[in-house]
Chain A
Amino acid sequence: MTPRVVFPNRILPYLLLAPQLAITLVFFYLPAVQALYQSMLREDPFGLRSRFVWFANFRKVLADPAYLNALHVTVVFSVATAVVAMGVALLLAVMADKVVRSRGLYRTLLIWPYAVAPAIAGMLFLFMFNPSIGTLAVLLRKAGIAWDPLLNSTDAMVLVVTAAAWKQISYNFLFFVAGLQAIPKSLIEAAAIDGAREVKRFWTIVFPLLAPTTFFLLVINTTYAFFDTFGIIHAVTGGGPGKATETLVYKVYNDGFVNLILGESAAQSVILMIIVIALTAIQFRYVERKVHYG
């Protein structure tokens, strides 16, 4: 039982909470409500008048092939980013766990990319994979791969996924390292004595015991891929070629701020909001059940 803190003053607690609540209200709830309202408005081409149209924007957006394309792109992009970022991070964490000497140095270096701003990370990859001047592009071409993210949509997707995943690997790595350290060494030893070799041990003992960490990171990474990758996509491909890397978030920006179709853009935001709420709810409800805590 945690001791209960009792405030003698009835108003003071609310006063102390007020700044935090005010910020949340002004910067999160207000815009959300506004977006909800705006998603039901339609403006004339000159932006002089707007009309209340109920769900017309939603109907239009959901019937738009370009929007369905963005949805598809987002799913592919998010799944790929989460899988790559988590897979690579787990691999690195397992390896770093085995390093005996200068383990701290490896860890520090592996954590650095997280400090790089998304747009800069994007530029980094843009340069490295630039078909004409990029060092890695040259290597790829030498290896016989016709690398051209400016024209080939698969290449473009690979590029944004790489850039987005690269940035997230550090974060995942940190959690996986902590997760691995929390597994008692004697369990691994017991499994070794029980006749399980390294790979078997990993899949039957280590991986299941990492499940809480993996689950947590799954939520974080999906949310990241959905929302926080705008900067990377903007810098690397700008949603192209064609609309091959245009995710839902990118389309919201494009339609709203570039093409100034505010009503539809707002409708897209609302849909996005619903998707994320649903995703998180599903993850917590179903995935968590298969996770063994403790």
Chain B
Amino acid sequence: MATVDLNDVRKVYAGGFEAVKGVSIAIPDKALCVLVGPSGCGKSTLLRMIAGLETISSGTISIDGKVVNNIGPTDRDIAMVFQNYALYPHMSVYDNMAYGLRNRGTPKPEIDSRVRATAKTLELDQLLDRKPRQLSGGQRQRVAMGRAIVRNPKVFLFDEPLSNLDAKLRGQMRVEIKNLQRNLGVTSVYVTHDQLEAMTLADMLVVMNAGVIEQIGAPMDVYEKPASTFVAAFIGAPPMNLMALTHGADGTATVAGGAKIAGHVPEQAAILGLRPEDAIVPAPDATQKGALSLPVAVEAVEPVGMESFLHCAIAGERIVVRVPGRSMVQPGDRLEIAAGLDRLHFFDKDGRRV
């Protein structure tokens, strides 16, 4: 049970490369904080600094109100699940889980009962005598989880723990991790570059880009009010459509070669964002037309089962819209798509939300 506070944390690697450029996050007790961002943005670096595996170049990291900058990983009372699981290959599943408890001098009977209890929750009780190499990928993942859980640490750290699993298993484990974390009530930091994982797991979502935080918030808040075009494009699949927006002399704003936006558009807005699922296709009749109406040409249709994505073009802009179910639309068709004013996102020329 602990809070984790990062205060203007920076990391400069030996070569002079600044991987984390001043990050501040306050993670409340029992929360699951997900760090998400593209490859190389510094997520792992940040996580490893929380773990104590990397030195902190400047700023402070506190666990439970205590600054841990100068405390090694051994004494931080955290547990980490590695991407490659890092199971001890020469130890049985039982010993892998018991190792941390033994090192901390837990009495033998207690180790035994805790390991067995944890193994039971994770359905590993039949596998306790096996070596890691005798396990499937999913089972190894569970052992890695078990090794973290059994210690009952203050903080769990996860570095892309599901990325080596197939899609189906990943979905299962995602739900399981969420449930486990909630039941155990252990503050957790979870690193992923999968935005679906990020959205479904997070109590608190931190979107990172090139060493800085783009946005912190509850997943749905981040989704509905992306703070920047980067977040808008990163969260959501397919990503938000972004179009250049121009202000005419008469005070009207237009996009895509002339389509007018009816309603108030902030002065500084230079980019218009529209989520694929917020477009109304085909546009309803003129009486209930939205704030924006775009005549587009369909270039490709992507059916994915319960929905289809239409890839459309208009005046040099490409936009993707979602339609439910199977679509009758064919490539080459011309369509009118519309969107309500409350569904439009505006960003300034630097990509900040306005």
Contacts and interface: CB of A to CB of B under 8 A. Distances in A.
- Say whether chain A's binding surface is mostly helix, strand, loop, or mixed: helix
Interface in B222-271: none
Interface stretch (A86-94, A139-147, A152-160, A183-191): A183-191
Contacts of B51: 189, 193
Interface string A79-114: 000000000000000000000100000000000000
B187 to A, nearest CB: 16
Given A184-B84, A294-B89, A192 B100 contact: no
B100 A195 contact: yes
B89 to A, nearest CB: 6
Contacts, number: 63
A292 B89 contact: yes
Interface size class of A (residues with CB under 8 A): 20 to 34
B74 A184 contact: no
Interface stretch (B75-83, B196-204, B209-217, B321-329): B75-83
B90 A209 contact: yes
Contacts of A187: 86, 88-89
A151 B316 CA distance: 97
A191 B96 CA distance: 10
B104 interface: yes
Contact of B90 (A192, A197, A292): A292
A238 interface: no
Interface string B1-28: 0000000000000100000000000000
Nearest to A100: B14
B147 interface: yes
Contacts of A100: 14
B72 A192 contact: yes
B37 to A, nearest CB: 21
Given A187-B89, A194-B151, A209-B89, 14 more contacts: A189-B53, A190-B80, A190-B88, A190-B147, A192-B53, A193-B79, A194-B79, A194-B147, A195-B74, A195-B103, A196-B99, A196-B103, A200-B103, A208-B90
24 contacts: A100-B14, A186-B86, A187-B88, A187-B89, A189-B51, A189-B80, A189-B86, A190-B86, A191-B88, A191-B99, A192-B52, A192-B53, A192-B74, A193-B74, A193-B79, A194-B79, A194-B99, A194-B100, A195-B100, A195-B103, A196-B99, A200-B103, A208-B90, A294-B133
Interface of A: 100, 184, 186-187, 189-197, 200, 204-205, 208-209, 211, 292, 294
